[in-house]
Structure 1
């Protein structure tokens, strides 16, 4: 007996939203199976060119069919039931290896497979929400860069909006999948720009949450004290719906107790309104935040964005951090690189804790075993992906004894100083948020060796603050120009509301023409 063919999904996959997909499934005009099959067909067509997905989920269609059966039986379904999504490779998912884009951690490229015994909490939450996980997405080696995935064992991922330019990293594949409508939503993760950079580079909405709002246990770490997991989507509402699923306490990640009491009543969509910018005091980018000017083209685009914000009733506050000492807190901890790595000294210890969680049958159980298994491409040696961490003052002691909790006094001092000034400026200027260009310049070429010139990495990463990116136009090159809304810890609902009001007033997001 042969299975009957899967019917057409009866919805347009390009720029498909959660709301439209769920309405079609509720009305019976499509099914989760039909939607999933259509996305799988689209992936088969376009992924060979864009190289966004590393591993397909062999259970995707069966998951979709099970959701359809439960829907037909009248069962209560999860809040994202039937929605096809992707997750970033470093997030543990049972049945699929966690490679972090590194040949050393994949058996088919001569490495060792890390096969998790349990899902990471964020993957488990997406499953519990009844999403259909289509696959895991491409990243640079150990998520080490915010620019691209060029050194991944699978090769580069292209920028869907501007294929000749940098796609952003390290959540490169997730952004490309969402930008190309190969999935409705995607999970990303950030230590130093890895959500905001690819979301902005590809013209998408990305939420970099407050540190400790979303669990990141079961995710290959760069810094347990900076790492955050968040969604990338094509519209603000979809990103907010995904954050509803991700946010909250789990005993698997004790730091998430800090977020208890900070989730908004009614969820992260509860404050979305086209009038959300009316009367809001919004701080603008300036030398008080960071003494790095915008390029002429970025400045021109930002002037237009300010006019759009003002048209929605926002009260604009020029350079509110002027004279505060905020910009002087920034350090270039890596010679020749505009990056502050404080907080990442702990990576050997954090990796050891991650390996312990993989389970008793894991191929590697300690950092020492990890280092031995990957010594052919030592990540911390000169030329290695994470060599830049060796410049952090307290890194050597952690590397010498990864089982001992590390000295993070430099990081703690930096976070405290950032938060003290940030809080004081917000109070003195009566600010409701900040709105900056996420990038200071146009994107460099894909293979130029360039970096993304951003405005909020690593300030908000060290401080643990949230940010929401939103499309705001395009450079002449075709590269997207995005804004980032930034606010105090736990202010995601307010930032999403501001971003939503701007998005609905301007509609700068546009579907790319695919190769």
Structure 2
């Protein structure tokens, strides 16, 4: 009898903090099935989802898909690397047959609007299916992903932080972060324009990869800046799981021509190839300082960061204080409040391309058709995206004809300037990466007005640089404190190696204790 077809003698399994390796070993040893694993996750969601609101839609076929994986395994078929692993995807990503709402009430029939139903999956969702993952559902986001701290503007209401319901969950991939941190799923898809992968991961004590622009396809994802800075990346509870998910997501597809840039840049051994406990030995790391950004660290964050630096040095790293001092790097910034929105000039054109891809059966499949059906204009002066129109002449012109490619020369010049200085600093100081606190202070509350105090968001997203978050401790108010490794374009494997060495030495991941209560926050 083929080992894969042996009867399964199931034993009780605790799904909290379960890893992909745990799951693969459980399947191989016949300790549980995909069907059982999926049911356990759905049961946990049923118990706690009312108090955390991670999901917008559940996949009604999840159990059928799990049974199909079991049947294929029993038949001895070759299965993908995520076969039977419960995952989630961000609401902004097209999932054939389920609404794509962009988190905005007028695009949700459940909130009194109308639904846009895509005919096919986004490439990243399709890659999950090919890998054998069981997609449990789509996760909550703020309207148009237009918030770095919270999902409170979502038509589906706020998502709460799994670590502490009183703390902002990070955004815009709030629901994915909560789902993974709460063990509603094992890994999940997030997406970033301005901090939307790294912020929620750091806020919920997760590992994440904000990839190099064009490494992972973002076609079929509701855009803010699809042509310039939007990226899809993984959330996981461990560095290894996060790297394994990036293996599935990365690389070229004809559905997203810009990913041609990734050819030859994906490591031959995959993104787990540099995971080594000694990966930080002999590494040179640049530290945060006013040469990078004039935003100071809070006194509490300075103390946490000092401890982090000691940990890095104890693992063999050499640190370089503020390597950007005197380079003019901070002069490149045009922060609007705390967010430099350059690159969003492409949103109207990118939305046109996104809508076209939905298919002929969609309620609207062009920018003009969508505008005609909407009761309000998100680009109006008082609309959710209106501030960008006011500050961006290129976007104002693009709104007149969203079918024409906008003039992105200004944005491209900004990217070039950032990369020129960044690469020069990395070379001059022989740096392997930067190692910064991901936030400059403790995180605000779930219903506060304060924005997310990120240290790197605009610079990384304009430049298109990769970054990896890893848990590093906790602030006094209960919010997680996280470390961020930033590197040259296409350096994800090395950054994951550094994060792995730090993770394995420190074990700072905060395991949430979920509550089944809507206590006041």
| Whole-Å separation in 1 of the counterparts to 2:11 and 2:462 | 44
1:438-470: CA deviations, max 9, x gaps?
000111111111110111111010100000000
- Among 80, 83, 94, the residue aligned to 1:81: 83
Are the aligned partners of 2:480 and 2:510 in contact in 1 as well (CA < 8 Å)?
A: no
Shift of 1:490: 0.3
SS in 2 for 1:210: coil
Shift of 1:11: 2.2
Shift of 1:226: 0.4
Are the aligned partners of 2:10 and 2:31 in contact in 1 as well (CA < 8 Å)?
A: no
| Whole-Å separation in 2 of the counterparts to 1:388 and 1:485 | 31
C-alpha distance 461-35 of structure 1, shift in aligned 2 (>3 A): same
- Return the TM-score normalized by structure 1: 0.97
2:108 is matched with 106
| Whole-Å separation in 1 of the counterparts to 2:432 and 2:98 | 43
SS in 2 for 1:229: strand
| Whole-Å separation in 2 of the counterparts to 1:388 and 1:467 | 28
1:44-73: CA deviations, max 9, x gaps?
000010000111101101111110111111
In structure 2, runs of 5+ residues without a counterpart are: 1-7, 516-521
Pairs within 5 Å for 1:201-216: 201-216=203-218
Shift of 1:371: 2.0
Are the aligned partners of 1:9 and 1:38 in contact in 2 as well (CA < 8 Å)?
A: no
Are the aligned partners of 1:11 and 1:21 in contact in 2 as well (CA < 8 Å)?
A: no
Shift of 1:143: 0.5
2:351 is matched with 351
- Among 177, 191, 197, the residue aligned to 2:193: 191
Pairs within 5 Å for 1:63-462: 63-224=65-226, 225-332=228-335, 334=336, 337-376=337-376, 378-390=377-389, 391-462=391-462
1:446-502: CA deviations, max 9, x gaps?
111111011111101010000000000000111000011000000000000000000
Shift of 1:288: 0.7
Are the aligned partners of 2:468 and 2:496 in contact in 1 as well (CA < 8 Å)?
A: yes
Shift of 1:8: 6.4
C-alpha distance 368-9 of structure 1, shift in aligned 2 (>3 A): farther
Are the aligned partners of 1:97 and 1:113 in contact in 2 as well (CA < 8 Å)?
A: yes
Shift of 1:510: 2.3
1:267-314: CA deviations, max 9, x gaps?
000110000000000000011111110000011000000000000000
| Whole-Å separation in 2 of the counterparts to 1:389 and 1:309 | 40
1:493 is matched with 493
Are the aligned partners of 1:201 and 1:479 in contact in 2 as well (CA < 8 Å)?
A: yes
Are the aligned partners of 1:11 and 1:24 in contact in 2 as well (CA < 8 Å)?
A: no
Are the aligned partners of 1:270 and 1:493 in contact in 2 as well (CA < 8 Å)?
A: yes
Are the aligned partners of 2:163 and 2:510 in contact in 1 as well (CA < 8 Å)?
A: no
Are the aligned partners of 2:290 and 2:325 in contact in 1 as well (CA < 8 Å)?
A: yes
1:481 is matched with 481
| Whole-Å separation in 2 of the counterparts to 1:147 and 1:389 | 19
1:58 is matched with 60
Shift of 1:163: 1.0
Are the aligned partners of 1:9 and 1:34 in contact in 2 as well (CA < 8 Å)?
A: no
| Whole-Å separation in 2 of the counterparts to 1:445 and 1:179 | 18
SS in 2 for 1:458: helix
- Return the TM-score normalized by structure 2: 0.96
Are the aligned partners of 2:9 and 2:30 in contact in 1 as well (CA < 8 Å)?
A: no
Are the aligned partners of 1:394 and 1:407 in contact in 2 as well (CA < 8 Å)?
A: yes
CA RMSD of aligned residues (A): 1.1
| Whole-Å separation in 1 of the counterparts to 2:11 and 2:105 | 37
| Whole-Å separation in 2 of the counterparts to 1:468 and 1:388 | 30
| Whole-Å separation in 2 of the counterparts to 1:214 and 1:403 | 24
Q: Are positions 1:32 and 2:34 aligned together?
A: yes
Shift of 1:265: 1.4
| Whole-Å separation in 2 of the counterparts to 1:121 and 1:345 | 24
Shift of 1:380: 1.7
| Whole-Å separation in 1 of the counterparts to 2:276 and 2:41 | 31
SS in 2 for 1:226: coil
| Whole-Å separation in 2 of the counterparts to 1:136 and 1:222 | 19
Shift of 1:7: 8.8
| Whole-Å separation in 2 of the counterparts to 1:452 and 1:85 | 26
In structure 1, runs of 5+ residues without a counterpart are: 1-5
1:223-245: CA deviations, max 9, x gaps?
02100000000010000000000
1:3 is matched with none
- Runs ≥4 residues deviating over 6 A: 6-9
1:246-285: CA deviations, max 9, x gaps?
0010000000000000111110001100000000000000
